[in-house]
Amino acid sequence: MDNIYFNGMSFYGFHGVFAAEAELGQRFYVDLELSLDLSKAGASDDLNDTINYAEIFTCVQQIVEGERFKLVEALTANIAEKLLRQFPLQEARVKVTKPNPPINGHYDSVAIEMTRKREDYAQ
């Protein structure tokens, strides 16, 4: 299996348990590792034989910026599910980083990472 990586995508979203988080919003970072067979695209050099990176970005952007979740876990799971349903992926590893959660202490960020497979969403 082959992989496509998206690193450090940055979005402004309104996710969190506390009212101030949902009202003020904050930056979220998303990293993806998408698994699929890229052999045909490697041989053909044709965009139609792979996934369009811009469409992946837009899909994630619409979720992070257009929807609201209390938990980063729910946001992460939703991204993985929509990617697997919308694109011909075998597996999606999604990491969402929340740099400024309301925690009293010193830290760089918190992050949730989930790996989901196509068969998790078989119909």
- At 70-94, the pLDDT tens digits run 999 999 999 999 999 999 999 999 9
Q: What domains does the chain contain, in order, with CATH numbers?
A: 2-121 (3.30.1130.10)
Asked whether residue 123 carries a pLDDT value surpassing 70, the answer given is no
Which among 40, 70, 95, 98 is annotated as catalytic?
A: 98
What pTM did the predictor assign?
Answer: 0.93
Q: How confident is the model over 91-120, as pLDDT tens digits? A: 999 999 999 887 788 888 899 999 999 988
95 counts as catalytic: no
Closest CA relative to residue 118, chosen from 96, 70, 85: 85
Q: How confident is the model over 31-43, as pLDDT tens digits? A: 999 999 999 999 9
Termini Cα distance of the chain = 23
Q: How confident is the model over 5-33, as pLDDT tens digits? A: 999 999 999 999 999 888 899 999 999 99
